[in-house]
Amino acid sequence: ILIWFWDTTCSGPIQLWQFLLELLLDPSCQSFISWTGDGWEFKMSDPSEVAKRWGQCKNKPKMNYEKLSRGLRYYYHKNIIHKTTAGKRYVYRFVCDVQGMLAPDCFWVMSH
């Protein structure tokens, strides 16, 4: 069980990877972005909806998946998010120490 406490109002500066985590941990968003069940791997089942919400958060109404994916590619070299193997569309994986990067801005509780 993963419990996440974070300011999800987009009221302050937020990075794309943080925004994606917010969506992934919000049960109401599972119809367009969800965990695959393989570690920190996730899939955007409706990348247009993810991009639309990112655009709303950043006040960029023309945001689309192409622009969002450019933002994701920025994280490849920083070893935050990687695209998964070829053949899987819209599937990515957090490869960083997510919990370590978030502290102290949020609070995680993990149990098995």
Decide: helix, strand or coil at residue 40.
Answer: coil
Q: Using 50, 70 and 90 to split pLDDT, how confident is the model at 3? A: very low
The mean pLDDT of 34-51, rounded to a whole number, is 95
Please state the domain extents for the chain. Answer: 15-106
State the CATH architecture for 15-106. Orthogonal Bundle (1.10)
As a whole number of Å, the CA-based R_g of the chain is 13
Q: Return the pLDDT at 85.
A: 79
Q: Which of 6-15, 42-51, 71-80 has the lowest mean pLDDT?
A: 6-15
pLDDT digits 0-9 by tens, 55-71: 999 999 999 999 999 99
- What residues contact 36, with CB distance under 8 A and at least 6 apart? 42, 43, 91
Decide: helix, strand or coil at residue 62.
Answer: coil
The mean pLDDT of 74-99, rounded to a whole number, is 88
36: burial class by Cβ within 10 Å (0-12, 13-18, 19+)?
middle
Indicate the pTM of the whole model: 0.79
Q: Return the pLDDT at 15.
A: 92
Q: Using 50, 70 and 90 to split pLDDT, how confident is the model at 102? A: low
pLDDT at 6 over 70: no
